[in-house]
Structure 1
Amino acid sequence: MRLEVLVATMNQEDTQLIERMNLQSDAIIINQTNHHDFQVVQKNRHTYKIYSFAERGVGLSRNTALMRTQADFALIADDDMVYVDGYPELVKQQFDDYPDADLIIFNLEEVDSWRFITKEAFTVNKFNYMRFGAARIALRPNRIKEKGICFHLLFGGGTPHSNGEDTIFLKDCLDKGLKIVAVPVTLAQLTEVRESTWFSGYTEKYYRDRGALFKALSPKLYPFLILQFIIRKYKKDQGMPSRKQQLHYMLSGAKEDV
């Protein structure tokens, strides 16, 4: 069984990313920069295909990698991750343990964790899928391709709406009948050497993008998603706009074409 890491990155000028991420398997690296290029690096019996494109959008990078992989299993990756030693065996073991899973979601380790941490394995469904990001996902590429699933090109870094491409992707997988399992296994550490590419505070754009995302997830029920978000997430001591202002921003964002 062959595993390939699908890395979305930007402005890489050399191949040091391979060592920085502690890659121990084949990988496809999509480097968004200002020119077009392709190179193959052979190292430690693994093949690293590095594509450089003069284009922008994290969803586009992920789709570009997905369409090129021929591996049995693939990991969705960002460039600020450092994989644990032996991760290929960890991934393969989890797919052996859950042979009917099409996607498996792992934990990521970080200094100040705000992400949901899986403490006991469970099946991901329409009520809990929104807690996971793309860089935690391992998948069977052939199942994704069979179902015609891809990342949304209007959401995520480098697009009109700064995040949410991973949430839409997981929802599409569930809608197409794929099985997703979350496991209490740590796959990588986050280096935290850069600022968030999408979160710069509770700004108008943050809420407009959130409203657009809820509309994309549920064109009919998005007002309820907006309301529950305001009720659950509002905190006076974090510099958030009032609930009324949040509602206005998100409803305005939901009216944008997505």
Structure 2
Amino acid sequence: MSRIELLVSGVKQNTDELPIKMNIQSDAVIVNQCDEDRTVRVEYKDKSGRENTIRIFDRNERGVGVSRNLALDNTDHELLQFTDEDIVLDDGYTEKVEKEFDSHAEADMLLFNVKAAPGRETYHNTDFARVTWKNYGRYPAYAIVARTDKIKAAGVRFSTLFGGGAKYSNGEDSLFLHDCLKKGIRIYRTDVSIGHEVSERPSTWFKGFNDKFFFDRGVLYHFLYGRLAGLMSLRFIIVKRKEMCREKPPLECYRLMLKGIKQGKDED
């Protein structure tokens, strides 16, 4: 049994082809949001000839947080690695991940480099360093590998309010890392690369810098910053106004975020 188990979130995927497409070389749990409910366990031989166990959960439900939590509930390996259907993993990623964890006993979680499709880049690690409250917010879930016992002991879950298929737009990744830090999970970044994103599919949530974008960002900021949400929203508008406030005056964008903050309080 491999030390690593991939936790794959997908939507309407051909799960027979997915392990090949993603270059899976370890055991995996695949949660596939589709129009049926079934659970299948298959033995998959990767291109190196190694046998891997793939557990497939087809579920007639929506929400990336729901699917990630189902995968999290069903993993039992030493290390868990979140990833998505449109990530292609590098040959030997298991050895890279295991070596990095073996070299850093101080880390409960490592954030690896996974190259995003052009125009979707949010981060690139150039060193090994601690991730803190100052810099956790730019990492996607598919960068995360963690010691399973630490995550389960902390009881950290993905929010089902945010992300593709959920009520509000993106933010479930940041909220997960936020809650990990809050629970004392020791997070580090590493410059080791383990894969790349291939899909340039349309975003499941981004439809432009419209009313919903700013309102949903306000909801997210309530959960991320609490009583500082209003101040952080103002900072966000000031910093991003040239990029995001071309169609709406900055004051209107800020008011939408304040409305979202109020809605976030009602969601608590």
TM-score by length of 1: 0.96
Q: Which residue of 2 aligns with 1:183?
A: 190
Q: Distance in 2 between matches of 1:124 and 1:110?
A: 20
Q: Does 1:152 align with 2:159?
A: yes
Number of paired residues?
Answer: 258
Q: Which runs of 4+ in 1 moved over 3 A?
A: 236-240
Shift in CA distance, 237/5, structure 1 to aligned 2, threshold 3 Å: closer
Superposition map of 1:64-103 within 5 A: 64-103=70-109
C-alpha distance in 1 between matches for 2:178 and 2:61:
26
In structure 2, what is the equivalent of residue 143 of structure 1? 150
Distance 2:91 2:128 in 1: 22
Which residue is equivalent to 1:251? 258
Is the Cα contact below 8 Å between 1:208 and 1:250 reproduced in 2?
yes
Distance 1:237 1:149 in 2: 32
Counterpart CA distance in 2 for 1:211 and 1:145 is: 29
**Pick aligned residue for 1:201 from 208, 225, 231:** 208
Hey, what does 1:125 align to over in structure 2? 132
CA distance in structure 2 between the partners assigned to 1:111 and 1:2 by the alignment? 28
Change (3 A) 1:221 1:43: same
Counterpart contact for 2:4–2:78, Cα < 8 Å: yes
What SS is found at the alignment partner of 1:255? Answer: helix
Q: How high is the TM-score relative to the length of structure 2?
A: 0.92
Q: Secondary structure at the match of 2:80?
A: strand
For 2:39, the equivalent position in structure 1 comes to 38
SS in 1 for 2:213: helix
Q: Are positions 1:162 and 2:158 aligned together?
A: no
The alignment yields a C-alpha RMSD, in angstroms, of: 1.5
Identity %: 38
- Segments of 5+ residues of structure 2 without an aligned counterpart are 46-50
Task: Name stretches of at least 5 consecutive residues in structure 1 with no aligned partner.
Answer: none
Of the structure 1 ranges 184-193 and 204-213, higher mean CA displacement relative to structure 2 is found in 184-193
Give, in whole Å, the separation in 2 of the partners of 1:160 and 1:78.
20
Confirm or deny: 8 A CA contact 2:15 2:56 kept in the other structure. Answer: no
